[in-house]
């Protein structure tokens, strides 16, 4: 995984300055996926999803490049004419964000293929 992530982040394979950070995010997203999908072990097929999450988190290819929190994270809806903003205020609106962060949420559809019901 490390080699693929470094390639997608345009880092030289010999450059080890970001390896610890990359390993941290690999570990972080691996645990997050295990918790979200209610699994004990990760399938090898999930490696590419973890790689994509880490690249998105670190601002690489296909990401916005912005690691700071999104201004619209707590907004449910916004209207511009006569200005109106509705904020998320109940458990259902924010439930998914307690398990997946804003970088992982874009992979929810792929993760749902492995997700099991929690008993």
Q: Which of 27, 2, 21 minimizes the C-alpha distance to 12?
A: 2
**23 part of a folded domain:** yes
Per-residue pLDDT of the chain (119 residues; tens, 9 = 90+): 999 999 989 899 898 998 999 999 999 999 998 888 888 899 898 999 999 999 988 887 644 444 434 444 555 666 777 776 666 554 444 444 446 777 777 788 888 888 877 65
**44 part of a folded domain:** yes
**93 part of a folded domain:** no
**N- to C-terminal Cα distance for the chain?**
31
Task: Give the residue numbers spanning the domain of 18.
Answer: 2-88+98-111
* Total number of domains constituting the chain: 1
- Contact call for residues 86 and 77 (beta carbons, < 8 A): yes
**118 part of a folded domain:** no
Q: Is 31 exposed, middle or buried (0-12, 13-18, 19+ CB in 10 A)?
A: exposed
**17 part of a folded domain:** yes
**66 part of a folded domain:** yes
**67 part of a folded domain:** yes
- Contact call for residues 36 and 111 (beta carbons, < 8 A): yes
- How many other C-beta atoms can be found within 10 angstroms of the C-beta atom of residue 29? 26
């Amino acid at each position: 995984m490390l080699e693929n992530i470094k390639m997608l982040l345009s880092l030289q394979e010999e450059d080890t300055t970001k390896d610890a950070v990359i390993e941290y995010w690999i570990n972080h997203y691996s645990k997050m996926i295990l918790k979200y999908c209610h699994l004990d072990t990760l399938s090898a097929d999930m490696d590419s999803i973890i790689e994509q999450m880490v690249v998105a988190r670190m601002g690489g290819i296909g990401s916005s490049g912005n690691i700071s929190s999104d201004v619209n994270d707590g907004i449910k809806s916004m209207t511009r004419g006569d200005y109106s903003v509705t904020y998320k205020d109940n458990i259902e609106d924010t439930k998914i964000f307690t398990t997946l962060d804003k970088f992982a949420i874009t992979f929810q559809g792929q993760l749902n293929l492995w997700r099991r019901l929690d008993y």
